[in-house]
Amino acid sequence: MATIVNMHEAKSRLSALVEKAERGEDIVIARNGKPVVRLVATSGAVGERQFGRHEGLLKVPDDFNDPLPEGFDGLT
């Protein structure tokens, strides 16, 4: 179940709400009693990189570095 807080309360308790979101709790901020946004933690802290994470998702064609055809303007 989500924790729903109004905009004024969210301003006052932002640090505590962010900590709850970091722990995985669902935080919803409402305006005039209507939910408008959900506060969620990012997937990882800046600087934490997993090398090779996207391996196999992209394929560069063998002719990638070949010269472009004569008259190619790149706008079509």
Strands 27-31 and 34-39: antiparallel
**Is there a domain that residue 66 lies in?**
no
How far apart (Å, rounded) are the C-alpha atoms in residues 53 and 55?
Answer: 6
Identify the three-state secondary structure at position 57: coil
How far apart (Å, rounded) are the C-alpha atoms in residues 40 and 46?
Answer: 16
**Is there a domain that residue 12 lies in?**
yes
**Is there a domain that residue 52 lies in?**
no
**Is there a domain that residue 31 lies in?**
yes
Tens digits of per-residue pLDDT, 16-27? 999 999 888 999
**Is there a domain that residue 23 lies in?**
yes
Q: What is the CATH number of the domain that holds 21?
A: 3.40.1620.10
Element of type H or E holding 36: strand 34-39
Q: What domain range includes position 31?
A: 3-39
Q: How many helices, marked H, and strands, marked E, lie in the chain?
A: 2, 3
Average pLDDT on 4-19 reads: 95
Tens digits of per-residue pLDDT, 13-65? 999 999 999 888 999 999 999 999 999 888 765 566 788 888 899 899 999 99
**Does residue 12 or residue 74 have the better pLDDT?**
12
**Is there a domain that residue 33 lies in?**
yes
**Is there a domain that residue 76 lies in?**
no
